[in-house]
Amino acid sequence: MLKTITIFLFGNIFSYEGGQRNATLDNTFYIRRGNWNIKADEIVLSVFIPFSKKNEFVFGYKQAQRRENAAAIVNAGMRVLFEDDTDIIKEMSVAFGGMSETSSLALTTSRGSVGRKWEDQLTLDVVQWLAEDFPSPPEGISGQMPYKRALACSFFFKFFHRVQLELRKGSGMEDATVSPRQTLPSLTRSISRGTQVFEEVPPDQPKHDAVGRPLQHKASLQHATGEAQYCDDMPLVDGELHLALVTSTRAHAKILSIDTSEALALPGVEAFFGHKDVPGSNIRIVLSSGEEIFASEEVTCYGQVIGAIVADTKTHAQRAAKAVKIEYEDLPTVFTIEEAIAKESYYPHEAKALIKSGDTERGFEQADHILEGEIKGGGQEHFYLETHVARVVPRGEDGEIEIFCSTQSPSTAQAIVARALGLPMNRVCIRTKRLGGGFGGKETRYVTLIPVAIAAFKLNRPVRGMLDRDEDMLISGGRHPFLGKYKVGIDSVGRFKALEATVFLNAGNTSDMSPEVVSASLYCFDNCYHIPNIVLTGILCKTNLPSNTAFRGFGAPQSMLVMENIIEDVAVSLNIPSHRGAALVHVYQEDGSVLITHGGVEMGQGLHTKMIQVASRALQVPVHKFHINETTTSSVPNTTVTAASTGSDLNGMAVLNACKTLRRRLEPYIAGNPGGSWEDRVKAAYMDRISLSATGYYKVPDTWDDNYVPVEGQQTTQRYYTYGAACSVVEIDCLTGDHVSVVFIYLLSCNSVTDQASSLKSKKSKYILAFYKYLYITSKVLRTDIVMDVGRSLNPAIDIGQIEGAFAQGYGLFTIEQLRYSSEGRLITNGPNTYKITGYGDIPVEFNVSLLKGASNPKAVYSSKGIGEPPLFLASSVFFAIKDAISSARAESGLKGRFRLDSPATAERIRMACEDQFTRQPYSSLRGLPLLDFIRPNFNCVK
């Protein structure tokens, strides 16, 4: 569209009544967004595109939130025509998208340039002309207007130098007189490449022993071909109904009335369910806190569930849900952490965590330097491919119901449903074959499951419900946004003397798992650094946003980012380098095949594959003999939630214990028939009436004794640690905020990290030691190397895949993903069109992952380690590499010292932090904007 305006295309338009007419595709043609100067009965027959002329140059530019499949924040088309054999402008047209309600010409800029020489002064004049062309922020896009204006100026600056280079070439003045910097090319990337390094199994390991071998994911082919069955893939049965939720359109209000008459009169509608229709308790308990299943008198966030409509089709149910009329009385709202602090809107004191060690007052007295600072980070959407879904089938006898659902914690789901229906737990069976992703978002937020269960139970008919993406994002919550405030004392050589820090988490409208998240956040705060005197406080802010919950990392990424930012601030200020389960196993006598049922949930992470490998070694049977059907509470009761990187540790040891029991029972038959087959031995045992089923159970040994007091901060809170190191090289475009990265990740032991750091120092690079240790280099963002200590990997292929995936998710958290809300508390970025996660173009150009050789871990199954969460924080290496690159750009402009960069480091924040004449231009007042960005950047520079 921009090029059509820029080169003045002509359209041949025809209608039956009016005949033909020609129209110039310019400002008069594009009236407003979605509205062109074409009548309802007209069609465009053709478009005339003229050839370019001698001395005419046309270029286009675009900056988006992500490299691919993302709408432009600002795009531009620019054309200039010179007088023959001169640098005098004869014609110029500059058009922009994203600067106003529709794509439009910058008329003042285009006209003012005519007759001017192509010289440096022109760029300064264009800055002023563009301010006149786009004087006030248009409604709906004004939230980024300072950035957009800086982009517009930067695009022209790029255009100016590109044309200047072409003019030099045309006059015979080749590149020798032009530095590479003056050409100002856009960042480009080549095809991604990388290496995956792991330790091979010993040559004498039996072939049937699968532990340590890089077996492919058990269901990988089904995933790739679409044959893998998920909950909503189950075929409909006769009489099955569909459910849609009725949610709040207010962030905080009293419910005055609910009118369902219009909704119930619509075709296909069966019933409406609200808080009065819950057979058991309307309060669902999550850990120690409770929240209503259906809001009864008051709503406390936009999207809170008030009721549910059941109909014969999903379309009918959703249509009727929108037809429910609810009258509200609005109440005061709190959305941001800053607002919560100002109004002291916190959850009760027991949700306030505290860790204390040493004497901070004395430590600050011993310090030579005392620094204070803040860093803020936004939330993150889980964005699992499969949204919340449940299908409930009443069995019609003794109140029994069978539930197929997407949950990470079948036993928790079982208990919550039983409480809501007023049934004993033995009447409720939860079945989960696989999840289309979880990341912590399906541990407690049963927003669909419980209403579906209530509807099925009350109507005595099968009911299913699956949220659309926008509904899921609106309702289910995500990672906690945070604000970290700190005061740190260091001596003259950079050693820590004292640290006092407070981490504020935006918990949302209920506490859910937030008390545990904030506690875990503080336990991980100091990372691998030793601080002799420390006081850490965690505070949960009570706001009117949907309740936030568990997310991969469980509070650690937030607090560890604060700690790494402290390291960065200290290094800059002192001008020193910044060093820095249960299981059940059945054996079938007919063919010797083995069925494993365990308490873990397969959600794409390869847990089932690893469990088969564990059983394969324990029973000394090839992997093709094993099968895992599903996770169900009727086979394995009292399951533990599959989360926090514990799936393999807990369930693996349980599977191992069950297999050892079976192996002991079969030992006489193995000894009596040493040359016999597995099938023969199994059949012989069966004929002797030996049980071929065994149950295994595993309890993690106590990490601390019953007298452990976390306030003392002297004992470990973890059974073992997973170490890692990542080195990322980034390159930023200071004119647009775009960046490209390369990452290296190493999972190492502590001693190995020191050795690696020494080698990096010899290359004049910066490095960081981290808990899940990581290193980063800043020069160009082109590569990432990761090394991780995963102990003796059960399956290197799956573990490396988890490392790469966790890094990609962390990359999104720290650089791309940004949740935006309206001033009414409604999520605006509620789908893939507006909320961008890491794409294939964001993967490092070179991505190398290595598993540390020779490591072991006697505290977990077959010396392995949990791997799901630790690699995520390694992506912060990209964040700090970007910050260092920004620092270099600022230094060129005379800006030195500390500056604040909040997370995520989006293109907007990168560009605006690289302060120059384009970012400092005056802007009209932005007061009263319709959009409220709850994580709006702060670019104040401490000089």
Residues taking part in catalysis: 869
The Cα–Cα gap between 886 and 858 comes to 44
- Buried b or exposed e, range 705-719, using 16+ CB within 10 angstroms: eeeeebeebeeeeee
Helices 556-574 + 514-523 axis angle, to 10: 40
Q: In 3-state terms, what secondary structure has residue 129?
A: helix
Strand, helix or coil at 354? Answer: strand
| Rounded Cα–Cα distance for residues 700 and 36 (Å) | 67
793 vs 606: CA distance, rounded Å: 13
Burial class (CB in 10 A: 0-12, 13-18, 19+), 271: middle
The rounded distance, in Å, linking the Cα atoms of 93 and 109 is 8
Tokens of 378: 């936004």
Contact 712, 763 (CB under 8 A): no
Q: Tally the C-alpha atoms within 13 A of residue 520's C-alpha that lie toward its C-beta.
A: 18
Structure-token pair, residue 893: 């402009």
CB–CB of 628/658 below 8 Å? Answer: no
- The C-alpha atoms of residue 801 and residue 871 are separated, in whole angstroms, by 11
Q: Give the Cα separation of 381 and 441 in Å (integer).
A: 9
Angle at 287 between CA 286 and CA 292, to 5 degrees: 25
Instruction: At 283, give phi and psi (nearest 5°).
Output: -105, 120
DSSP states of 536-584 as a string? EEEEEEE-SSPPP---TTTTHHHHHHHHHHHHHHHHHHHT------EEE
Place of tokens 């514990």: 646
Report which of 473, 480, 472, 529 is spatially closest to residue 504, judged by C-alpha positions: 480
- The alpha carbon of residue 763 and the mean position of all alpha carbons in its chain are separated, in whole angstroms, by 33
- Evaluate whether 91 touches 7 at the Cβ level (below 8 Å): no
Task: Give every CB contact of residue 113 below 8 A, 6+ residues apart in sequence.
Answer: 80, 89, 92, 122, 126, 129
Q: Is 575 left (phi over 0), alpha (psi -120 to 50) or beta?
A: left
Q: Exposed (0-12), middle (13-18) or buried (19+): which is 172, by Cβ within 10 Å?
A: exposed
Report the C-alpha gap between 501 and 268 in whole angstroms. Answer: 57
* Side chain identity, residue 805: G
Instruction: Please state, in angstroms and rounded to a whole number, the distance separating the CA atoms of residues 819 and 715.
Output: 37
**What is the distance between the alpha carbons of residues 337 and 377, in angstroms, rounded to a whole number?**
11
- CA quadruple 186, 64, 80, 48: dihedral positive or negative? positive
* Cβ atoms within 10 Å, residue 115: 10
Cβ-based neighbours of 810, under 8 Å, separated by 6 or more: 553, 557, 871, 872, 873, 874, 875, 876
Angle at 36 between CA 33 and CA 39, to 5 degrees: 140
Cα separation of 499 and 488, whole Å?
Answer: 4
List all residues 6 or more positions away from 406 whose beta carbon is below 8 Å from its beta carbon.
230, 231, 386, 388, 389, 390, 432, 435, 436, 438, 442
* Centroid of chain to Cα 308: 29
